């Protein structure tokens, strides 16, 4: 793992910046999926019988998709620039690189809706292998 390593306290301190970014990321991801669905439905209707769409309707749908994708990417980039790693766009799952006392690299794990960084796992175990910080 490259980049900064965080202690649990440092990761929790960073949540003041990461949490609002994760909230934005999840919301824009939700909007992106909805915009993509609207665009796909419009394209299907157009393919069938024209669907009473004008070129500007399609342009508006494409702009919606592009705007939301840009906002998702902006939030991910901002989280990454803080040294954290986005693991899931839909749930707001974020990991903070850290180490065990033995020096073994681990990921301190937080998900939107949790009050604090209270979990860790190895890179190989992933989210399914989360363990409480007191087992670090």
Rounded to whole angstroms, how far apart are CA atoms 31 and 133? 34
Of the candidates 117, 19, 108, 32, the one whose C-alpha atom is nearest the C-alpha of residue 72 is 32
24: domain range? 8-135
Read off the pLDDT of residues 72-129 as tens digits, 9 standing for 90 and up: 999 999 999 999 999 999 999 999 999 999 999 999 999 999 999 999 999 999 999 9
Residue 1 within a domain: no
Sign, Cα dihedral of 58, 39, 79, 115: positive
- Residues forming beta bridges with residue 98, ordered by sequence position: 106
State the pTM of this model.
Answer: 0.89
Number of domains making up the chain: 1
Q: Is residue 24 part of a domain?
A: yes
pLDDT in tens, 115-126: 999 999 999 999
Establish if 3 belongs to a structural domain.
no
Q: Is residue 103 part of a domain?
A: yes
């Amino acid at each position: 793992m490259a980049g900064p390593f965080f202690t649990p306290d440092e990761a929790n301190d960073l949540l003041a910046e990461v949490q609002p970014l994760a909230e934005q990321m999840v919301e824009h991801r939700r909007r992106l999926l909805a915009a993509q669905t609207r665009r796909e439905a419009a394209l299907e209707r157009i393919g069938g019988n024209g669907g009473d769409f004008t070129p500007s309707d399609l342009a508006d749908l494409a702009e919606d998709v592009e705007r939301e994708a840009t906002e998702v990417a902006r939030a991910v980039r901002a989280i990454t620039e803080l040294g954290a790693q986005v693991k899931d766009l839909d749930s707001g799952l974020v990991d903070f690189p850290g180490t065990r006392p033995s020096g073994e690299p681990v990921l301190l794990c937080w998900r939107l809706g949790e009050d604090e960084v209270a979990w860790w796992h190895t890179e190989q175990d992933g989210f399914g292998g989360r363990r409480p910080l007191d087992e670090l």
